[in-house]
């Protein structure tokens, strides 16, 4: 069964045809380049192409995924030294060459994975990867210096025998390498996996709570980028016949960052072109204007960062496009929504373990006890509302249930599985969905892409394809259609209203098909009609799909209408836990919640 919602969108095949044409044209240029250019230019460009490929890897890391690494130079140097060392100390049989490439790739990707493991652990600051990659550069340079005659110390290795190829062949090889890396990179960033990278850059926390192991994804990406940089480094050593510790220097690492920033972050082609051009011009001018040129690059770099952080590439591209009579390309987006087949939950599952079981849970910050001795259970098919004045610890309780690293004591089990010390993505995999108090969405993605990401754990994203349908469970589809999001699938989330973002986050959480739903003020900022609608959907989820919902709400009318049970939290303790009538009629609640008994009259 398919929904009727569809969008005009550019088909994937026409995109691929365009990519193919651009690649063929680029390969053609690489083929005829040596015929038109002077020998010196060819010599320089062979090297520049390799730098261009490294810039592409950094753009995927930094521009798309938000990982600012200063250390691509270290991985480049590892690849280069793998070549240099093997060719110097072993020789140049085909076996040696394969060994050199293999060692370079393995060492670089293992080291990349190690740095990634350090930098992308749960709770480690975003800045840490920049710090760690700076340190990596320093360490690699020092090791190369300390290597004595084995690594050639400060002067490096040179004059080793390397492949005997003519310049045009080298030009074709490194040029094709750049084209292939850029094309594969293009496929990757325009695939569903690429959307996932952007979602990590935009809001890693939100992605984690959809059950996506963002840390592992980043480690894998970082290791892959390290391997490609090492491959480029191997090419560099094989062609230039020189390797020096400066290759690993963080100055080279920051030069790569400069190329990406100048060419335009998250444009892929911009950084590649900027790297090739800047390196090419540098080589030309280093003879006549050695310091002036670097000075100029520095000044332009500052100006670009301050005035046009999107880089020079996008501005230039817009200018060119406005001069050419090209049709404007509609933003592409997943075209259709369809209903996912959901497992039918029978009433039998009610006899299983409790959906949520909290035992003696506590949370304190130093001597401040925010939650103390909280115990309750909630079953499938229950809609439990959590009420209490501001500062009662409601949101903290939700956080402790959805993130095993949060609580100070006690235990939480979801559907019979203890969450132990699991981080949010693994708690989510137990069947938990969480909506945050303030709308937490991916600003730079479109509505359709956001829904796609919310489904990424269930429908794993492809590394090179983009799905043209999104399977949504009935409830998510209902929210999307009823709140008008269905008409805005191709719009960027940034352009949605506050209410639109609230509805989108709820739809995303529902799209992940949770069995236990934690909702922190899901209807704040919505209109009365939308609120009624959401209320209806929640009741339906509980009654028909046997979900368990734990809801924080301040609107007591709303709570009364939809809840099957209410828990009252006050100063970090549960003061009342009972059915709606008991709690609403309770004198204690009136005193706590409204401050004075008569004020609650309107509610009852």
Binding site for another protein (CB under 8 A): 68, 118, 121, 123-125, 127-128, 130-132, 134-135, 138-139, 142-143, 145-146, 250-251, 254, 257-258, 261, 291-292, 294-295, 297-299, 301-302, 305-307, 309
Q: Which is nearer to another protein, 363 or 546 (CB)?
A: 363
Q: Which is nearer to another protein, 252 or 558 (CB)?
A: 252
CB-CB contact of 400 with 412 (8 Å): yes
| Crossing angle between the packed helical segments 12-36 and 167-189, to the nearest 10 degrees | 160
Three-state secondary-structure class, residue 443 = coil
Q: Tell me the H-state helices in 210-249.
A: 214-240
Tell me how far apart the terminal alpha carbons of the chain are, to the nearest angstrom. 44
Q: Which is nearer to another protein, 123 or 343 (CB)?
A: 123
Q: State the nearest-atom distance from the C-beta of 140 to another protein, in Å.
A: 10
Q: State the nearest-atom distance from the C-beta of 2 to another protein, in Å.
A: 43
CB-CB contact of 381 with 565 (8 Å): no
Kindly give the pairing relationship between strand 548-552 and strand 383-387.
parallel
Q: State the nearest-atom distance from the C-beta of 90 to another protein, in Å.
A: 26
Helix (H) or strand (E) holding 35: helix 12-36
Q: How far is CA 538 from CA 286, 329, 488, 505, in A?
A: 68, 39, 23, 14
Q: If 0-12 CB within 10 Å is exposed, 13-18 middle and 19+ buried, where does residue 574 land? A: buried
CB within 8 Å of 316: residues ≥ 6 apart = none
Q: Which is nearer to another protein, 241 or 246 (CB)?
A: 246
Q: Which is nearer to another protein, 49 or 250 (CB)?
A: 250
**Which bin fits 352, alpha (ψ -120 to 50), beta or left (φ > 0)?**
beta
**Cα torsion 337, 338, 343, 347: sign:** positive
CB-CB contact of 379 with 550 (8 Å): no
Q: Which is nearer to another protein, 37 or 283 (CB)?
A: 283
Q: Which residue has the tokens 């909702």?
A: 519
Q: Which is nearer to another protein, 13 or 125 (CB)?
A: 125
In angstroms, the CA 451 to CA 503 distance is 12
Q: Which is nearer to another protein, 117 or 464 (CB)?
A: 117
Q: Which is nearer to another protein, 124 or 169 (CB)?
A: 124
Q: State the nearest-atom distance from the C-beta of 60 to another protein, in Å.
A: 17
Q: State the nearest-atom distance from the C-beta of 136 to another protein, in Å.
A: 9
Q: State the nearest-atom distance from the C-beta of 231 to another protein, in Å.
A: 27
Q: State the nearest-atom distance from the C-beta of 306 to another protein, in Å.
A: 5
Q: State the nearest-atom distance from the C-beta of 246 to another protein, in Å.
A: 12
Tokens of 237: 């050593």
Q: State the nearest-atom distance from the C-beta of 582 to another protein, in Å.
A: 42
């Amino acid at each position: 069964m398919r929904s009727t919602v569809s969008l005009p969108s550019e088909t994937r095949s026409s995109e691929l045809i365009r990519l193919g044409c651009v690649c063929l044209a680029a390969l053609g240029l690489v083929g005829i380049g040596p015929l038109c250019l002077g020998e010196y230019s060819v010599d320089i460009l062979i090297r520049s192409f390799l730098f261009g490929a490294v810039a592409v890897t950094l753009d995927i890391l930094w521009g798309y995924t938000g990982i600012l690494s200063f250390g691509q130079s270290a991985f480049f140097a590892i690849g280069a030294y793998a070549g240099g060392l093997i060719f110097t100390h072993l020789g140049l049989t085909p076996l040696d060459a394969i060994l050199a490439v293999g060692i370079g790739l393995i060492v670089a990707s293992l080291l990349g994975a190690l740095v990634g493991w350090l930098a992308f652990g749960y709770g480690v600051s975003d800045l840490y990867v920049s710090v760690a990659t700076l340190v990596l550069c320093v360490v690699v340079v020092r090791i190369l210096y300390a290597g004595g005659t084995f690594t050639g110390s400060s002067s490096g290795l040179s004059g080793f025998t390397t492949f005997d190829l003519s310049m045009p062949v080298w030009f074709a090889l490194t040029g094709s390498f750049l084209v292939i890396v850029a094309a594969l990179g293009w496929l990757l960033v325009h695939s569903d996996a690429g959307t996932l990278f952007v979602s990590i850059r935009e809001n890693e926390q939100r992605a984690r709570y959809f059950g996506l192991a963002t840390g592992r994804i980043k480690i894998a990406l970082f290791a892959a980028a390290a391997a490609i940089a090492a491959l480029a480094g191997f090419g560099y050593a094989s062609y230039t016949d020189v390797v020096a510790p400066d290759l690993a220097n963080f100055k080279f690492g920051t030069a790569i960052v400069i190329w990406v920033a100048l060419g335009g972050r998250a444009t892929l082609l911009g950084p590649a072109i900027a790297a090739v051009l800047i390196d090419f011009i540098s080589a030309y001018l280093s003879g006549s204007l050695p310091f002036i040129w670097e000075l100029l690059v520095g000044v332009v770099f500052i100006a670009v960062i301050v005035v046009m952080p999107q880089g020079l590439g996008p501005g230039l591209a817009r200018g060119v496009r406005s001069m050419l009579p090209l049709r404007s390309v509609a933003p592409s987006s997943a075209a259709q929504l369809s209903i996912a087949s959901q497992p039918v939950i029978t009433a039998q599952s009610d006899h299983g373990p409790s959906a949520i079981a909290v035992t003696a849970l506590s949370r304190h910050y130093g001597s401040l006890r925010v939650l103390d001795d909280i115990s309750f259970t909630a079953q499938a098919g229950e809609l439990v509302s959590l009420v209490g004045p501001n500062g009662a610890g409601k949101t903290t309780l939700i956080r402790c249930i959805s993130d095993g690293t949060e609580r100070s004591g006690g235990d939480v089990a979801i559907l019979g599985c203890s969450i132990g010390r699991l981080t949010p993505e693994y708690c989510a995999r137990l069947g938990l969905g969480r909506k945050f108090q303030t709308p937490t969405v991916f600003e730079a993605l479109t509505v359709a892409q956001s829904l796609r990401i919310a489904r990424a754990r269930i429908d794993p994203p492809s590394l090179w394809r983009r799905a043209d349908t999104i399977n949504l469970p009935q409830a998510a589809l209902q929210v999307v259609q009823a709140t008008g999001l269905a008409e805005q699938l191709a719009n960027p989330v940034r352009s949605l209203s506050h209410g639109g973002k609230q509805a989108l986050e709820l739809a995303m959480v529902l799209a992940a098909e949770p069995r236990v739903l934690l909702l922190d003020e899901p209807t704040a900022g919505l209109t009365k009609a939308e609120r009624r609608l959401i209320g209806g959907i929640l009741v339906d989820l509980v009654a028909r799909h046997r979900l368990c919902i734990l809801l924080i709400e301040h609107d007591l009318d709303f709570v009364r209408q939809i809840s099957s049970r209410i828990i009252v939290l006050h100063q970090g303790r549960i003061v009342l836990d009972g059915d709606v009538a008991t709690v609403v009629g309770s004198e204690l609640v009136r005193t706590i919640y409204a401050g004075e008994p008569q004020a609650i009259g309107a509610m009852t």
